[in-house]
Amino acid sequence: MLGALNHVAIAVPDLAAAADRYAELGAKVSAPQDLPEHGVTVVFVELPNTKIELLHPLGEASPIAAFLEKNPAGGIHHLCFEVADITAAAETVRATGARILGDGTPKIGAHGKPVLFAHPKDFHGALVEFEQA
């Protein structure tokens, strides 16, 4: 079921400073993109084999705001894996006994594709995102 690692997401307290750091190292860095449905502003750092998604809170109810309260310097937030079929992936995840967060309905993610998140307690402490390829 698992495809390529699409990105590693890092929550950051200062989005511009984080984006600048990767740009200084020669990476291609996207413009910031607000995703109100997810409560975040994102910047993508493109690498030859994957991407880094820099996450910053968008609004006070953002789940990233809560993450940064616990981790003021920021930190790795989640891993995103590509899947061929998001509905089949959700069924497979549930069949293993793992939980899908929210109501289980895919939302449209930063790449304009359906995504789901699995509970970190079911993945050894790592929040895992699945994105339809």
User: pLDDT tens-digit profile of 82-115?
Assistant: 999 999 999 999 999 999 999 999 999 999 999 9
Answer whether residue 129 shows pLDDT above 90. yes
Q: What b-and-e string marks burial along 87-105, b requiring 16 or more CB atoms within 10 Å of the CB?
A: eebbeebeeeeeebeeeee
Tally of domains in the chain: 1
Answer yes or no: pTM beyond 0.85. Answer: yes
For residue 60, the model assigns a pLDDT of 84
Q: 27 is in which domain, residue-wise?
A: 5-132
User: pLDDT tens-digit profile of 19-59?
Assistant: 999 999 999 999 999 999 899 999 999 999 999 999 999 98
In this structure, what CATH number is given to the domain that contains residue 99?
A: 3.10.180.10
Q: Name the catalytic one among 53, 69, 91, 129.
A: 129
| Alpha-helical runs (H) found in the chain | 15-24, 63-70, 86-95
Catalytic annotation present for 91: no
